[in-house]
Amino acid sequence: MDAPVSGGDIGARDAKLAIMVGGEEEAFEAMVPVFSLMGENIQLQGPAGSGQYTKMANQIAIASTMMGVCEAMAYAKKAGLDQKKVLATIETGAAGSFSLSKLAPRMIDGDFAPGFYIKHFIKDMKIALESAEEMDLKTPGLTVAKQLYELLAEQGEENSGTQALYKYYR
């Protein structure tokens, strides 16, 4: 079985992780009580390895989303808007996401403490890029996000949280 998770430090602390499981149905059913101690959204994705593929899909979605959230917050600031008011308005609409609701406030407040480290995100993006390449799938958003995060890591931000991407846009 494989069972990667998503939800960051808060999800882990509150036992609200999303758990992406790959494995046999019988083994999955036997493990659900254990997984339930750590998470609420527990899904069997398919055979062993499917959890990891699902985690990579998650990381691909986050990579481009984080660029969009950072760009939006930087744009709001440059336009002379109150970033917190903009955030309160757009987070309940079509732009809504975990990154927007949970990480944008931290960006605005200058809180770049890790919920998920940049260095680990870079590792995941590398794995996702290699996997996509094996599938002959183009992922330009992921490619750009990885480049930006690598730039931040080179500047000493590898132990910051993923929301530190905002620093690139400031």
Per-chain mean pLDDT for the chain: 96
| Span 155-163, average pLDDT | 97
Per-residue pLDDT tens digits for 46-74: 999 999 999 999 999 999 999 999 999 99
Q: Are residues 105 and 30 in the same domain?
A: no
Q: What's the domain range around 42?
A: 5-48
pLDDT at 10 over 90: no
CATH number of residue 10's parent domain:
3.40.50.720
Residue 55 annotated in active site: yes
Q: Which of 55, 85, 119, 146 is catalytic?
A: 55
Q: How far apart are CA 160 and CA 5, in angstroms?
A: 20
Q: Are residues 93 and 144 in the same domain?
A: yes
Instruction: Give the side-chain half-sphere CA count within 13 A for 130.
Output: 6
